[in-house]
Structure 1
Amino acid sequence: MAEVNRRTQRLMGALPFASLGVVAAVDVLTGPDLGYLSLLAVGPAFASLVGGVRRTVLIGVIALVTSLVLAWYNGLLGDRQSNMSLVSITGVTAASILATVGRQRRERELANVRSVAEVAQRVLLRPVPRRAGHLRAAVSYTSANAEARIGGDLYEVVTGPGGVRAIVGDVQGKGLEAVETAALVLGAFREAAHDETDLRGVSGRLEKALNRRLSGEEFVTAILVDADPAGKLTLLNYGHPPPLIIHADGTITLAEPADSAPPLGLAVLEVEGPNPHQVAFGPGDQILLYTDGVIEARDRAGRFYPLAERAFLLKDDDPEAALEALRLDLVHHVDAPLHDDAAMLLLRFRDG
């Protein structure tokens, strides 16, 4: 993707010079009767697409000099056609300079906003520990390329007295409100994961924290995990995509609960939360938790990313390298900026 962007930039950078060359060549070949001199203003018009003010001025000067040379060559120097060409080039160059100044100002403002957004996201989503109890962990977060629309994807891994607990969630919406809600969920989870004896107690604390803040139509999809060193996972799924279990023998299962449950923050519906869902999880097994930005990522033909089919990429001994291989495959599948943030958390049972 970066290479495509660089090629696009080079193409737009060469466009003004190419247009000046084409107009000059056509004028020389066809003669002065058809009056192509005014078309030299196309060069300065394209100049505002990339680069700075100096570059725009330079292209405008080149266009003026080219116009004068062609007018002299055609014997038109000083007549109406030549003068109109000079006026057109000067006017378009001035407009392009103003456009360049405005574009650069917007680029600086957007860069500043993106910088603030990225810092806020990094503060919110701290790196997970590489070793958490009997597990090894790795995380991947790919932001959508949608200006500064930071999202509400969240994840955390906490080692407590009873084992390892983790959460992956997705706040409805984008922007600062979503980030504030994600911060609220993570703060409540980090505290409750140490204090509560079971996942139901943890999720109850999350519900209380959210219901004090959210309105009736806001919610957070999430999946909570409690990893027992004895070889068992307990899951609570609140309307979130089910995780993948990659067993040591290579088989893949979808940890889908028997009953569906609404997301967190919808206490107004007065619906009971999900029942705990337990799965076996032994040495060499992996569990991949993710947000819907992963499975809803589409390629140029509109096909969704086939996560279950690509889970074999998680074969590297290093969980971080394995997850990076999957992330790169996701980016390659889309071959364009993601429309939604994509978070993935990989937990692997340590062999020793």
Structure 2
Amino acid sequence: MQGPEPDNTSRGENRPWRVAVAARAVLRRQDRTGDPLRVARPSRWLRWLPVYLLFALAVVQAIVGNRFELGFLIGAIPPLAALTYKAVGTAVFGGIVLVLLWVPAIRLGRAGDSDLVTVAFVAVLSVVIAWARRRRDEQLVTVRTVAQAAQFAVLPPLPPRVGPVRCAGLYRAAQHGTLVGGDLFDVREGPYGVRALVGDVQGHGLQAVGTVAALLGAFREAVLDQERLTGVAGQLDRRLSVDAEDVIAAGRVEGETDAVSELFATAVLLEFPPGSTEVRIVSCGHPPPLLLHTGGARELPVIAGPPLGLGVPSEGYRTLTVPLRTGEWLFAYTDGVTETRDRTGTFYPLTERAARLRTDDPIAFTDTLWDNLRDYARGDITDDVAMLVFAPDPPDLPDPVVGPEGGAA
């Protein structure tokens, strides 16, 4: 007997089944926009090309007769088949070619014995090439699958709901073939409510993944330990400061004179306290979130603090408290969105586009905004992009107390 499904609103949002569901949702969305880790399948026309070429040569040879010798051209069909077919399929094409050249009733051209031996050798070699190519593709799929799992371990897919907050996120790494770049995000529920992190570390691509992993680990610990949101910022700053010292020390030991002198990141932290209609925001040198409401959007007046990694104590950050009305969303993003340019060099007008493209579904909104961003840049987006939408539910109100006369007490 099947038990009840887990409650989406309960705590403990980091359960494995939630990550699996979110991962499947991410992969479905990547199927629509292109999975950077998937091995591209050969196009249909390329698979049919050996068949078309074989038929065309046979027809043309029958038309021209003995005036022109075209039969030798079909020797190129087995190597062509090896590009797209498995070893068995390539062997079939090789056998067909040999039959066409050797059987007297349908002998194509005037191939001699040495020609048949040469074509047979090419056919066998093509089968070997097809087998080696297939094995290489399988190994490549395995390597990419492991890489995908490792990157999902660093930056798990965003669950559709964390506690009372609906979430929708979109992440695109600038470096082709990777899922994780220099941007990061996470949403966790802890004893002090739902907390979210959106950040951008120094550098791009794989060199920034280690910093991303360190910050995410520190954030998940701080969500449980730090009572104040500024304390979370201070703990992230300490983590990055220690890592920067280790990087500098390692560079000195290895004699790298061009080692980085500092390691920093920008981030914005959000907190949705339990049973509250407010959101608290701390900015660590990061672009301020947008408040999306029906018919408009505005940039929140966040008090910008210093970036992470500069050794700033938690007292150096300030908290902005914003009351939220029913239906209002928060939209956090990285500078890969706002620094995208069109052909004329004009920056992407995020506030105006977000207000115009907002829908009732957070996931549909992020997908629509991403498509609009790509169209604006003509597909030329050179920076990592991360965008998150937070749609908190209204707090549960206590049921009215009914008096003895049937009215509310």
The reply to whether TM is greater than 0.5 is yes
Change beyond 3 A, Cα 1:3–1:204? closer
Task: Give the structure 2 partner of residue 199 of structure 1.
Answer: 229
The answer to whether the aligner puts 1:235 opposite 2:265 as a matched pair is no
Residue 52 of structure 1 deviates from its aligned partner by 0.9
* Residues in 2 aligned to 1:17 and 1:304: alpha-carbon distance in whole angstroms: 50
* Residues in 2 aligned to 1:314 and 1:121: alpha-carbon distance in whole angstroms: 30
Task: Give the structure 1 partner of residue 196 of structure 2.
Answer: 166
String of CA shifts for 1:36-72, please: whole Å, max 9, x gaps: 2222123222212223111111112222223336996
Task: Give the structure 2 partner of residue 286 of structure 1.
Answer: 329
* Residues in 2 aligned to 1:350 and 1:206: alpha-carbon distance in whole angstroms: 28
* Residues in 2 aligned to 1:193 and 1:331: alpha-carbon distance in whole angstroms: 34
Q: Is the 8 A contact 1:233 1:279 kept in 2?
A: yes
Task: Give the structure 2 partner of residue 211 of structure 1.
Answer: 241
The one of 29, 53, 64 aligned to 1:30: 64
TM-score normalised by structure 2 residue count? 0.65
The one of 158, 163, 183 aligned to 1:132: 163
The one of 353, 356, 359 aligned to 1:315: 359
- Describe how 1:179-190 pairs up with structure 2 within 5 A: 179-190=209-220
The one of 81, 105, 113 aligned to 2:143: 113
Change beyond 3 A, Cα 1:96–1:118? same
- Describe how 1:79-90 pairs up with structure 2 within 5 A: 83-84=114-115, 86-90=116-120
The one of 388, 400, 404 aligned to 1:345: 388
Size of the alignment, in residue pairs?
A: 339
Q: Is the 8 A contact 1:189 1:202 kept in 2?
A: yes
Residue 241 of structure 1 deviates from its aligned partner by 4.8
* Residues in 1 aligned to 2:185 and 2:111: alpha-carbon distance in whole angstroms: 70
- Describe how 1:256-335 pairs up with structure 2 within 5 A: 261-262=306-307, 264-265=308-309, 276=319, 281-291=324-334, 308=351, 309=353, 312-316=356-360, 318-320=361-363, 322-323=365-366
Q: Is the 8 A contact 2:341 2:376 kept in 1?
A: yes
Task: Give the structure 2 partner of residue 251 of structure 1.
Answer: 296
Q: Is the 8 A contact 1:117 1:150 kept in 2?
A: no
Could you say what secondary structure the match of 2:230 adopts? helix
Change beyond 3 A, Cα 1:347–1:24? same
Q: Is the 8 A contact 1:298 1:304 kept in 2?
A: yes
**What amino acid is aligned across from residue 215 of structure 2 in structure 1?**
V
* Residues in 1 aligned to 2:66 and 2:357: alpha-carbon distance in whole angstroms: 65
* Residues in 1 aligned to 2:363 and 2:338: alpha-carbon distance in whole angstroms: 20
Change beyond 3 A, Cα 1:197–1:24? same
Q: Is the 8 A contact 1:113 1:148 kept in 2?
A: no
Q: Is the 8 A contact 1:24 1:70 kept in 2?
A: no
TM-score normalised by structure 1 residue count? 0.74
* Residues in 1 aligned to 2:85 and 2:138: alpha-carbon distance in whole angstroms: 13
* Residues in 2 aligned to 1:298 and 1:9: alpha-carbon distance in whole angstroms: 33
The answer to whether the aligner puts 1:68 opposite 2:102 as a matched pair is yes
Change beyond 3 A, Cα 1:3–1:195? closer
Q: Is the 8 A contact 2:72 2:111 kept in 1?
A: no
The answer to whether the aligner puts 1:52 opposite 2:86 as a matched pair is yes
**What amino acid is aligned across from residue 224 of structure 1 in structure 2?**
L
Q: Any stretches of 5+ residues in structure 2 without a counterpart?
A: 1-30, 248-259, 396-409
Q: Alignment RMSD, CA only? A: 4.4
String of CA shifts for 1:300-352, please: whole Å, max 9, x gaps: 9x999875525655422x54455456567778989989877654321113234
* Residues in 2 aligned to 1:324 and 1:185: alpha-carbon distance in whole angstroms: 26
Task: Give the structure 2 partner of residue 21 of structure 1.
Answer: 55
* Residues in 1 aligned to 2:60 and 2:149: alpha-carbon distance in whole angstroms: 53
Could you say what secondary structure the match of 2:216 adopts? helix
Task: Give the structure 1 partner of residue 251 of structure 2.
Answer: none
Could you say what secondary structure the match of 1:156 adopts? strand
Change beyond 3 A, Cα 1:58–1:306? farther
The one of 126, 135, 153 aligned to 1:96: 126
Q: Is the 8 A contact 1:136 1:350 kept in 2?
A: yes
* Residues in 2 aligned to 1:103 and 1:244: alpha-carbon distance in whole angstroms: 50
Q: Any stretches of 5+ residues in structure 1 without a counterpart?
A: none
Q: Is the 8 A contact 2:283 2:303 kept in 1?
A: no
Could you say what secondary structure the match of 2:243 adopts? coil
* Residues in 2 aligned to 1:60 and 1:118: alpha-carbon distance in whole angstroms: 38
Task: Give the structure 1 partner of residue 404 of structure 2.
Answer: none
Residue 157 of structure 1 deviates from its aligned partner by 1.8
The one of 148, 151, 155 aligned to 2:181: 151
String of CA shifts for 1:220-252, please: whole Å, max 9, x gaps: 3432223453534423143x45433212x3201
Residue 195 of structure 1 deviates from its aligned partner by 3.0
* Residues in 1 aligned to 2:124 and 2:378: alpha-carbon distance in whole angstroms: 38
* Residues in 2 aligned to 1:329 and 1:168: alpha-carbon distance in whole angstroms: 21
Could you say what secondary structure the match of 1:213 adopts? helix
String of CA shifts for 1:101-120, please: whole Å, max 9, x gaps: 33222222221122222222
Q: Is the 8 A contact 1:232 1:282 kept in 2?
A: no
